[in-house]
């Protein structure tokens, strides 16, 4: 007969099996039906016994986590920019590094950009929206924004739409490859943001990402194919003085800046994430007629 373990002993067992303390706490809270913010609750109830009904479920989730499956897929949620997003294997898990892109977009949207901005709300396009993380973070921060979110994957768009409905945030969704997915190709935007695939097809780091959708990770031999496409086609979809902001790999900032400059963008620059890595690059578009005036 199985002897029930206390919650404290269960946490120790999970860590001894190979989980770090935070993963162990979040997994146990999930199984117990507690929100992830109640880690202190586990300390206050460390002598409580783990119900038999939850022990088998916890062991199954433990094995999946040890096999490398992201914790967010096991719990079904991921916090991003203060939003509780539902995620699963149809989309990439939102990373904290991507909040750098959101902060930058909010900065440029706060800048004046001529008479058009005064006459109508700013428009933002999120290319490759996945779970909707970036688009929803922007909409939640600036409710007057008109936000369009595009993805090639119908499965990803279903996740984004579900998140938008649950959070009561209005997005306009479009399906297709990058700009081909725009619901209205004539719309021009004040800011285009994207966290596209940027890992080289043969990058050894892919071996640690086998549980996430590979089509959302890789982009050609050097990882820059999708970034090249977005940079080349973005000017046709930007308002004058609009910004294109892109997330990229840890070692791609110089290459992305060069692509932006070659395409005619001005004020080309990069921003660092919390680890001090140049994580995002972008530039401002001015049409040739106004740039020379």
Q: How far apart are CA 53 and CA 60, in angstroms?
A: 12
pLDDT tens, 239-292? 999 999 999 988 899 999 999 999 999 999 999 998 999 999 999 999 776 554
264: nearest Cα among 219, 231, 229: 231
Q: How far apart are CA 16 and CA 25, in angstroms?
A: 13
Mean per-residue pLDDT for 45-72? 91
Q: Which residue has the tokens 């004020």?
A: 267
Please name the fold of domain 78-291. Rossmann fold (3.40.50)
pLDDT tens, 155-170? 999 999 999 999 999 9
pLDDT tens, 144-156? 999 999 999 999 9
Q: Where are the domains of the chain?
A: 7-67, 78-291
Q: Which residue has the higher pLDDT, 103 or 203?
A: 103
pLDDT band at residue 1, thresholds of 50, 70 and 90?
very low
pTM of the model: 0.86
Q: What DSSP string runs through 23-43?
A: HHHHHHHHHTT--TT-HHHHH
Q: Which residue has the higher pLDDT, 79 or 3?
A: 79
């Amino acid at each position: 007969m199985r002897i029930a373990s206390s919650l404290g002993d269960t946490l120790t067992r999970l860590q001894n099996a190979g989980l770090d303390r935070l993963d162990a706490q979040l997994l146990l809270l999930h199984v117990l039906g507690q929100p992830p913010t109640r880690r202190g609750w586990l300390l206050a109830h460390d002598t409580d016994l783990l119900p038999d009904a939850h022990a088998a479920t916890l062991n199954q989730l433990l094995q999946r986590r040890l096999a490398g499956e992201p914790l967010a897929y096991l719990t079904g949620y991921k916090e991003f920019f203060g939003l509780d997003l539902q995620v699963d294997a149809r989309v990439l898990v939102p990373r904290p590094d991507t909040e750098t892109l959101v902060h930058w977009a909010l900065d440029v949207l706060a800048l004046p950009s001529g008479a058009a901005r005064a006459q109508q709300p700013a428009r933002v396009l999120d290319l490759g929206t996945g779970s909707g993380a970036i688009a929803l973070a922007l909409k939640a921060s600036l409710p007057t924004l008109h936000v369009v979110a595009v993805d090639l994957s119908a499965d990803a768009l279903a996740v984004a739409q579900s998140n938008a409905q649950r959070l009561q945030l209005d997005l306009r969704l479009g399906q297709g490859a990058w700009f081909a997915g725009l619901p209205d190709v004539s719309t021009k935007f004040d800011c285009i943001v994207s966290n596209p695939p940027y890992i080289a097809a043969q990058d050894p780091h892919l071996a640690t990402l086998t549980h996430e959708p590979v089509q959302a990770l890789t982009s050609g031999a050097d990882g820059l194919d999708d970034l090249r496409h977005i940079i080349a086609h973005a000017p046709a979809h930007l308002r004058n003085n609009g910004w294109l902001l892109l997330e990229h790999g840890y070692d791609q900032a110089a290459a992305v800046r060069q692509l932006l400059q070659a395409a005619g963008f001005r004020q080309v620059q990069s921003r660092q994430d919390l680890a001090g890595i140049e994580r995002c690059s972008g530039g401002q578009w001015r049409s040739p007629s106004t740039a020379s005036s």
